[in-house]
Structure 1
Amino acid sequence: MIIIETLIGAVVFVAVYVAFVKLDYYRRKAKFETSDMPVAYNGLLGWKGLRHMLTVFNNDIGPVGWREVFATYGKTLKYYAFPSNTILTYDPDNIKAMLATQFKDFSLGLRKEALAPSLGYGIFTLDGSSWSHSRALLRPQFSREQISRLESVETHVQEMMSCIDRNQGAYFDIQRLFFSLAMDTATDFLLGEAVGNLQEILHPEMPRTGTTFQVAFDRAQRLGSLRIICQEAFWVVGSLFWRRDFNNTNQHIHDYVDRYVDKALLARKEKSEIYTNPDKYIFLYELARETTNKITLRDQVLNILIAGRDTTASTLSWIFMELAKKPDIFHKLREAILNDFGTSCESISFESLKKCDYLRQVLNEGLRLHPVVPVNLRVAVRDTTLPRGGGPQGDKPIFVAKGQKINYAIFWTHRDKEYWGEDAEEFRPERWETTSGGALGKGWEFLPFNGGPRICLGQQFALTEMGYVITRLLQEYSDISIQPSDAAVKVRHSLTMCSAQGINISLTRAKEE
């Protein structure tokens, strides 16, 4: 009898609490002139929503897994997924509000707590004054002078071409090579020494530690993404049966970078030649001029490494997949590159890359169709609104309560037929021919590098490196094909997006004339 009374009391308490919360929500909502948005309740406590999110994650379905949800409810909706709910949107007006016009109404929310054990507290995970300090610390490191230094990139491109040539025209996974190339160029720039992923492919008999670091870095991102999916229950990933994997992965990447941090601080202390040489730019050594805090240095390196490696590697991989599927575009681009640069790397520079129109169009189209960060998160720090999503037509403002999570899906903004036409899901660089305004050239419907105050510091660095790599490969290779497959492309969506099964193509060396 006591147990029954206790259960009844608990049920009544929960019912009263839920009623109170709802009444408080509607009281606060009444202060704003807003309309209701569509709601996907997804079963008791949103268990179907959580199941859907985990299915998409585990089966490498990627952002495509949200097609049916948006088709059913529209561009903006409230989506219940245990243990809470989120607003999903890909409306560019809402994205503009969160990232720019109402920037101070939103924060990164759970990202810091979910990712800090792996990435620490850097520009990718911080908010507020701490983020402003990190951005000010990093901004000088991405000056035009630094992003224009392409000599070190050429060294690693030569190594990559040696890896390609070993296949003798057979199919190979170019995504693996691009991630190795990007890790080598990024660590060369950041740490002053490449981790040697490409050398390890060329000389497997001489194992290095670079590959184990890359594997651990990928695993840290995968577990971090799972923690974000779990929302307020993020702590589960990092405990229970994930504990050892999570801790060992984080320890590995921290120990690896710490070795370079110690070298930089020692060079600063001893004022060694590598520290004082103005012709040898090393990101970490320059950063060590501003702070000697070991944890800060490590955290900033890991935060920048995500952007520096993944943006370049993922985008190049997707672009070459599209070029292999449409070799006519490959040949058109190669002709444009040969016309502008010939067959030598000597004429390739930051300035000349920006002037090659068709190369710019191909880069834009690759970033549009395959954005590196396809879905991102914000959380309201006060009661506020978003401009669209309410009413029968979805064109009225909606109420956003303090603490409300919002996932914005750039992936679907970039594929919205309202802005991109009926062929929005086709790779067609020519759609950029009539677009003015340089490399970005669009409004909030095109957002490959985020926007507003948090716009990516390294976007010109990434565009320059990607343009250089494409140019060099198309100078040296005259034909391309993709390995036939009946299977749909699976998308590994961790913090960033890449192909889950690799991208197998062949490249044919150009004949010397």
Structure 2
Amino acid sequence: SSLVYRILILPVILSVFDLYTYLWRTIRDRLVTSLAMTQLSLIYTAAALVAGFILIRLFNALFRFKNTQNIPLICRSPRKYPHIEPILGLDLLIKTFRLLIQRRAVPGLQERHKKYGSTFLVNSLGQNLFHTSHPENFKAIYETNWADWGNGPARADAMEPFCGRGFLTTDGEEWKRIRDMMLPAFTQSNIVDLTSFSSAWETVLDRLPDDGTTIDFAPLLYDFFLDMSGEFLLGHKLSELSTSGGATSPRADSKNFLRALHASQSWAVVRIVFGVIGQSFPNPKWKADCHTLHSFVDNYVENALKKQEQECKLLEGERSFNKDEGYRSLLECLSKHSSDRYEIRSQIIQCILAMQDTTSTLVSNTIFLLARHPRVWSRLRYEASQMPREGLTAEALQGMPLLQNVIKEALRVYPVFCTLGRTSLKDTVLPKGGGPDGSDPVFVFANSRVITFFYGLHRQASVFGEDVERFNPDRWNDIAPKTWEYLPFSSGPHSCIGQHKAVIETAYVIARLAQRFVKLESRDDREWAGDWKLVVKNFNGCKVAVSAKTGLEELRAVQTKPFGWKDKA
């Protein structure tokens, strides 16, 4: 087994270390006259880190060897990625970085799943890392054994200086308490009320050039949904689409806030990926960006708490909280439930992280696909023409079957979250992935990481047909995936709290585009290139052109039969 191999290779490692020591002393004697002591210190530090990695790896191997008696007999080992460098797995890490730069990391991971199976094991900086795209494993991780898995071990230390403790970084009772505190802001009445949203989107539509000029919808949608998420979370808009200011809306700092948000979350990802090593590197700029971010949000939190205190004094009562009450913003909801500034700020920042790109990326991907499938667009325009142009409601949008199928298919082809990671909080089992054919259970030690691959889950030919790479909304008329075979927003207790809001808003945006414009043409022949950050969006944007409506004659002539399978892929 790999465990025995690592134990047997210990003498080899020690021999290599002796050779390294000899070479280091020789090189040091020659370099000491030309290198500053600070440079030598850096080299010493790097050597110590490598040695530390090796020791950690050996310790983990010995620990697991000691606990092998806990492994059920029915469990088998999964397939392992054949590393060239087996100690830290640097070969795969370098390959992954190369694919990230080429914007091919998502299809690259899909190719790995095709080659090594739906569940396989890799060495990630000395730690075992499972990859899975098997539906049964998704069910175990997100539903049946969800309490065995958490976010905290991987995210808490890495992200807490940036976004505090919240629903993205906690587990157990603390996570449940935070989620319950936020739920009243996501009531059905708040989600289906499109009054403010529709007014804001109509303003955007009025600004769109309808003469065939190329438009990049990606940044436009990002600004728009950042506006709407800011209004939902803080009660004030943030992006450059806003024109209002005021004492309680520090617009002068919004650009610095957005810059700090992007910079700080990028370094937080580095800290997550590299674990203790990433968290050990000092980064004064990151601390400054976090301070900028905190100061901006603290301004809103302070105003909300002052307002709540004034209301309490007027009512001469205690701070009230009604879980069935509707709220204008999440901040208003939180300020009625808690007076802890740190806790409120943490939930706001983590919600901004969760919402900033999610819906804008979904809408952008949907437009990207529709612009390449003109027959689907024509049929969608016909369906939209049967709906009222003013006062379009969430209920009416849910009654548009083609529109709903288009959104489902866009989420299948390009899931906003291609992967999600979980850490085992205790020894547990994955139902599938062990043995030569991957049909046996896999034992997972506590504190092991698993990457669930939604992009691969949504490309099962046995569920979605052989043409899984093709955009075909009509497939949803004939298929009925099980709950764990299609997970655009995850599922179970940790499912996305704002998923219904995202789908309704996407449906409204697409429906109004279809009512307003005859043509939607692609102006970019490049393939979708996944830019993998917290979400995965097209690096090339969404470059299209729209043409204004000319009348109803064309709509009446539109074929309403399924478009077939011959549209441009």
Band of TM-score, shorter chain: 0.7 to 0.9
Instruction: Check whether the contact 2:186–2:497 (CA below 8 A) recurs between aligned residues.
Output: yes
Measured after TM superposition, the shift of residue 247 of structure 1 is 2.0
For 1:372-451, what aligned pairs fall within 5 Å after superposition?
A: 372-435=416-479, 442-451=482-491
Instruction: Check whether the contact 1:224–1:495 (CA below 8 A) recurs between aligned residues.
Output: no
| 1:129 to 2:176 alignment | no
Q: Distance in 1 between matches of 2:353 and 2:15?
A: 54
From the superposition, tell whether residues 32 and 259 of structure 1 become closer, same or farther in structure 2 (CA, over 3 Å): farther
Letter aligned with residue 472 of structure 1: R
Measured after TM superposition, the shift of residue 208 of structure 1 is 5.5
Instruction: Check whether the contact 1:435–1:442 (CA below 8 A) recurs between aligned residues.
Output: no
Measured after TM superposition, the shift of residue 421 of structure 1 is 1.4
TM-score (norm 2): 0.80
Instruction: Check whether the contact 2:129–2:448 (CA below 8 A) recurs between aligned residues.
Output: yes
For 1:350-361, what aligned pairs fall within 5 Å after superposition?
A: 350-361=394-405
Deviations along 1:408-427, one digit per CA (max 9) or x if unpaired, are 11111011222211111111
Q: Distance in 1 between matches of 2:107 and 2:242?
A: 35
Instruction: Check whether the contact 1:384–1:402 (CA below 8 A) recurs between aligned residues.
Output: yes
Instruction: Check whether the contact 1:156–1:184 (CA below 8 A) recurs between aligned residues.
Output: no
Partner of 1:490: 529
From the superposition, tell whether residues 16 and 256 of structure 1 become closer, same or farther in structure 2 (CA, over 3 Å): closer
Aligned equivalent of 1:223, options 243, 253, 267:
267
Aligned equivalent of 1:306, options 342, 353, 359:
353
Deviations along 1:459-490, one digit per CA (max 9) or x if unpaired, are 111111111111122211221111133x4432
Partner of 1:326: 373
Aligned equivalent of 1:188, options 223, 228, 231:
231
Letter aligned with residue 27 of structure 1: Q
SS at match of 2:336: coil
Letter aligned with residue 234 of structure 2: L
| 1:471 to 2:517 alignment | no
Measured after TM superposition, the shift of residue 101 of structure 1 is 0.8
Aligned equivalent of 1:39, options 80, 86, 95:
80
SS at match of 1:506: strand
Deviations along 1:326-353, one digit per CA (max 9) or x if unpaired, are 12111111111111x14x121x112211
Letter aligned with residue 90 of structure 1: S
SS at match of 1:376: strand
Residue ranges of structure 2 left out of the alignment (5+ in a row)? 1-13, 22-50, 244-250, 553-569
Instruction: Check whether the contact 1:159–1:198 (CA below 8 A) recurs between aligned residues.
Output: no
SS at match of 2:397: helix
SS at match of 2:452: strand
For 1:237-386, what aligned pairs fall within 5 Å after superposition?
A: 239-240=281-282, 243-271=283-311, 281-339=328-386, 341-342=387-388, 344-346=389-391, 348-386=392-430
Deviations along 1:369-402, one digit per CA (max 9) or x if unpaired, are 1111111111112222111001221111111111
Measured after TM superposition, the shift of residue 443 of structure 1 is 1.8
Deviations along 1:113-170, one digit per CA (max 9) or x if unpaired, are 22222222111221111100011101111111111211111222123224423x7431
Measured after TM superposition, the shift of residue 407 of structure 1 is 0.6
From the superposition, tell whether residues 15 and 256 of structure 1 become closer, same or farther in structure 2 (CA, over 3 Å): closer
| 1:198 to 2:241 alignment | yes
Instruction: Check whether the contact 1:489–1:501 (CA below 8 A) recurs between aligned residues.
Output: yes
Partner of 1:98: 141
Q: Distance in 2 between matches of 1:311 and 1:504?
A: 19
Instruction: Check whether the contact 2:327–2:333 (CA below 8 A) recurs between aligned residues.
Output: no
CA RMSD in angstroms comes to: 3.0
Instruction: Check whether the contact 2:530–2:538 (CA below 8 A) recurs between aligned residues.
Output: yes
SS at match of 1:307: helix
Measured after TM superposition, the shift of residue 26 of structure 1 is 3.2
Q: Distance in 1 between matches of 2:401 and 2:57?
A: 62
Deviations along 1:42-79, one digit per CA (max 9) or x if unpaired, are 22311112212333334433422212321221110001
Q: Distance in 2 between matches of 1:188 and 1:18?
A: 47
Deviations along 1:257-302, one digit per CA (max 9) or x if unpaired, are 21111121121122399x99x9972221122111111111111112
Letter aligned with residue 48 of structure 1: D
Q: Distance in 1 between matches of 2:384 and 2:432?
A: 43
Deviations along 1:61-115, one digit per CA (max 9) or x if unpaired, are 3422212321221110001121322000010100110111111221213022222
Instruction: Check whether the contact 2:185–2:329 (CA below 8 A) recurs between aligned residues.
Output: no
Aligned equivalent of 1:65, options 104, 108, 111:
108
Instruction: Check whether the contact 2:260–2:292 (CA below 8 A) recurs between aligned residues.
Output: yes
SS at match of 1:371: coil
Partner of 1:26: 68
SS at match of 2:485: coil
What is the number of equivalent residue pairs in this alignment? 489
Aligned equivalent of 2:496, options 456, 463, 470:
456
Letter aligned with residue 467 of structure 1: A
Instruction: Check whether the contact 1:32–1:399 (CA below 8 A) recurs between aligned residues.
Output: no
Q: Distance in 2 between matches of 1:20 and 1:291?
A: 46
Measured after TM superposition, the shift of residue 248 of structure 1 is 2.9
Letter aligned with residue 100 of structure 2: F
Larger Rg: 2
| 1:51 to 2:94 alignment | yes
Partner of 2:157: 113
Q: Distance in 2 between matches of 1:309 and 1:87?
A: 29
Letter aligned with residue 33 of structure 1: I
Letter aligned with residue 319 of structure 1: T
Measured after TM superposition, the shift of residue 254 of structure 1 is 1.8
Q: Distance in 2 between matches of 1:54 and 1:336?
A: 44
Instruction: Check whether the contact 1:53–1:229 (CA below 8 A) recurs between aligned residues.
Output: no
From the superposition, tell whether residues 19 and 138 of structure 1 become closer, same or farther in structure 2 (CA, over 3 Å): closer
Letter aligned with residue 220 of structure 1: S
